[in-house]
Structure 1
Amino acid sequence: MPSLENFRLTVFRKVAEHLSFRKAAEELYLTQPAVSLQIKALEEDLAVALFDRGGSQVSLTPAGDALLEYAEQSCRLLNEATHAVAAFSGTQSGALTLGASTTIAQYVLPRLLSQFCAAHPRVSPTLTSGNTEEIVKAVEREKIALGFIEGPPRSRDLTLTPFLEDELVLLVPAAHAWAERNEIAPEELARAPLLMRERGSGTRHIVELALEKQHIRRSALNVVMELDSTEAIKSAVEAGLGVGFVSRWAIAKDARFGSAFCIVEIKGLRFRRHFVLVSRKASELSGPAAEFRNFVLATTTATGSGKNRDRSKTTKQA
């Protein structure tokens, strides 16, 4: 469904988002001169400069900051209006902006999106991936309507709905001495070369919390490398660079499991968690976002993978 937003405001929002005429042009499939012309025309209409183009940096002027707030509100209201009108057609249509932490984006959402899009062919989904912290910020700033994260968010006024059970497991190379053992002691892990996800990752947060309960401090861990994705962790383990934690979902269908790497239990430790749906409390979901949320909850319940789900709740964390 076409956007109802004024095109100049669309261009303005993209330049403001990236603080770059070139990046805005690339996202909008325009030439950079075309973007510059749209901004110039908007500034002439308003009789005020919206961007400071001094030097090599682009920044918003105070007038630009003020306009951006209203432009984002306008975009949100027009999207809601589009979805409300589309409901009278009896079918869902329009844009569906999603964000997910990397594990969920790689191993969980593709199957769900495939099923959803088959039932709703007029919906156009966009999926952005990042770590838990990045996805929460995107939801807060209304860059995406619905987020899927792995760990507890450090945010406020968010609606959280657990939807899928997960467990983190310790992956070791198949040739590692631990591969022949049923389990290891927690203190052995502290001495091992450990591959960790980057700061802000939900996986890292869960692992550090669980180890601290066993009196293993972060500073005591022998972290030899930080990596920004589960696939990178798996490849590094396979190469013998160390041991690392990954989601069970990440190895469920991996042909390398058993031959390149295997799971080792840690005595007295289980790293269980729920994947969580995140949306803004202040903005009630509507249109494709609401439909997809309901679909995800219904699908994970029907397959039994979302059992023991708590009710939606609102967090107000500092």
Structure 2
Amino acid sequence: MALNYHQLHIFYTVAERGSFSAAAQALHMTQPAVTMQIQALEDYFGSKLLIRSTKKIELTEAGHTLFPFALRSMELMRETEKSMSGFTSMLEGRLQLGASLTIGEYVLPRLLGPFGKQHPHISIALKVMNTTQIIEDIVSHQLNFGLVEAPVHHPDMVSEPVMEDELKLIVPVGHPLAAKDLVKLNEAVTYPFVLREKGSGTRQVMEAELERRGIRPERLETVMELGSTGAVKSAVEAGLGVTIISPSSVKHEQALGLLKVVDIEDAEFKRKFYSIHLKSTLLPVSAVTFLAFLKDAKQPL
């Protein structure tokens, strides 16, 4: 019998998940099939790799020695697929991904067209939902991967930055600040604000930068908190206040002359967008190609 990557992948997943049943579920295999592959691996090395108990699987000394090599083999496979994806002229497949609101509604639509022209045989099924729902669907294998507005700290997930965004001050046409292209932060915060709800990625980025600049978020005159970027835009357009959100979400309103993007001279509300997927699952080449496309995208957000 020859050593193969598939068996190392199974061993890694069993060790990481702590049970044969959990590994079988993650790998879409039956538990007896997982057990058989582990036994074959132990026969190959002539040594027990796992200690099976009623509570949890534990690694033997040989298992501890093998584990980092199994991890490196998975990382090497991911790097190989990423490097070789550019040479694949006829990629096929159906990508199922989830994206948080700003990414799914305002960023990706401008990029899916160019990607589709380059790779017409890849179909994409996009679900727009919150980060918690995306994680749940990835864990249950309903999605290949997700795109979110903040890094995810989950024991089963890989979280990698793929794009960068910068929030800007958005004001209605006719507002005193609309006559300016550049304002100071202390001037901007004297006006009433319409904000996303507490806990949203946009709100967190804004408040973190305010605090970094010595301004307590509570100092803002917040006239309204809303649960979607669309609702915030409508409230600002109606003259209820100003806001700080991604300029990618107001391109249409800018073109119609309804809202204006104003730069803040002494503050930067920058953030990254992240891809997330299961550690135990290798992304298909089509997904690796799509993520590489996003990282290389030159369109301003």
TM-score for both structures, normalised by structure 2: 0.62
Contact 2:26/2:280 (8 A) holds in 1: no
1:202-253 CA-partner distances (Å, limit 9, x unpaired): 21111111111123233333322223333322222111121112212223x4
- Alignment of structure 1 residues 80-95 onto 2, 5 Å: 91-95=90-94
Contact 1:164/1:305 (8 A) holds in 2: no
Alpha-carbon distance in structure 2 between the residues aligned to 1:75 and 1:233: 46
1:262 to 257, 260, 263: 260
Go from structure 1 to structure 2 and tell me whether the alpha carbon gap of 1:207 and 1:119 turns closer, same or farther (over 3 Å shift). Answer: same
**Alignment partner, residue 28 of structure 2:** 74
SS in 1 for 2:262: strand
Alpha-carbon distance in structure 2 between the residues aligned to 1:117 and 1:267: 38
1:273 to 271, 274, 278: 271
Residue 208 of structure 2 is aligned to residue 209 of structure 1: yes
Alignment-mate amino acid for residue 168 of structure 1: L
Shift in Å, 1:182: 4.8
**Alignment partner, residue 108 of structure 1:** 107
Larger Rg: 2
Go from structure 1 to structure 2 and tell me whether the alpha carbon gap of 1:216 and 1:141 turns closer, same or farther (over 3 Å shift). Answer: farther
1:251-270 CA-partner distances (Å, limit 9, x unpaired): 3x425457322123334111
Alpha-carbon distance in structure 2 between the residues aligned to 1:74 and 1:189: 53
**Alignment partner, residue 162 of structure 1:** 161
1:112-164 CA-partner distances (Å, limit 9, x unpaired): 32333344444332111124454345445543222122233344453333333
Contact 1:183/1:267 (8 A) holds in 2: yes
Contact 2:94/2:123 (8 A) holds in 1: yes
Alpha-carbon distance in structure 2 between the residues aligned to 1:212 and 1:137: 32
Alignment-mate amino acid for residue 293 of structure 1: L
Alpha-carbon distance in structure 1 between the residues aligned to 2:114 and 2:271: 25
RMSD: 3.6
Go from structure 1 to structure 2 and tell me whether the alpha carbon gap of 1:261 and 1:126 turns closer, same or farther (over 3 Å shift). Answer: same
**Alignment partner, residue 129 of structure 1:** 128
SS in 1 for 2:28: helix
Alpha-carbon distance in structure 2 between the residues aligned to 1:228 and 1:93: 37
The worse-fitting range, judged by mean Cα deviation, of 260-269 and 114-123 is 114-123
SS in 2 for 1:294: helix
Shift in Å, 1:74: 2.6
- Alignment of structure 1 residues 191-230 onto 2, 5 Å: 191-230=190-229
Alpha-carbon distance in structure 1 between the residues aligned to 2:133 and 2:101: 11
Contact 1:163/1:276 (8 A) holds in 2: yes
1:267-297 CA-partner distances (Å, limit 9, x unpaired): 4111122322222223221243233223333
Contact 1:97/1:289 (8 A) holds in 2: no
Go from structure 1 to structure 2 and tell me whether the alpha carbon gap of 1:279 and 1:285 turns closer, same or farther (over 3 Å shift). Answer: same
Contact 2:162/2:291 (8 A) holds in 1: no
The runs of 5 or more residues in structure 1 that have no matched partner are 1-66, 77-86, 307-318
Alignment-mate amino acid for residue 195 of structure 1: V
Go from structure 1 to structure 2 and tell me whether the alpha carbon gap of 1:168 and 1:179 turns closer, same or farther (over 3 Å shift). Answer: same
Alpha-carbon distance in structure 2 between the residues aligned to 1:219 and 1:147: 33
Go from structure 1 to structure 2 and tell me whether the alpha carbon gap of 1:177 and 1:133 turns closer, same or farther (over 3 Å shift). Answer: farther
The runs of 5 or more residues in structure 2 that have no matched partner are 1-20, 31-84
Shift in Å, 1:97: 0.9
Alpha-carbon distance in structure 2 between the residues aligned to 1:169 and 1:136: 28
- Alignment of structure 1 residues 1-318 onto 2, 5 Å: 73-74=27-28, 91-156=90-155, 158-251=157-250, 253-254=251-252, 256-257=254-255, 259-297=257-295, 299-300=296-297, 303=298
Go from structure 1 to structure 2 and tell me whether the alpha carbon gap of 1:75 and 1:112 turns closer, same or farther (over 3 Å shift). Answer: farther
Contact 1:151/1:203 (8 A) holds in 2: no
TM-score for both structures, normalised by structure 1: 0.59
1:153-195 CA-partner distances (Å, limit 9, x unpaired): 3444533333333211010111112223454443444443222
Contact 2:151/2:160 (8 A) holds in 1: no
Shift in Å, 1:69: 9.2
SS in 2 for 1:108: helix
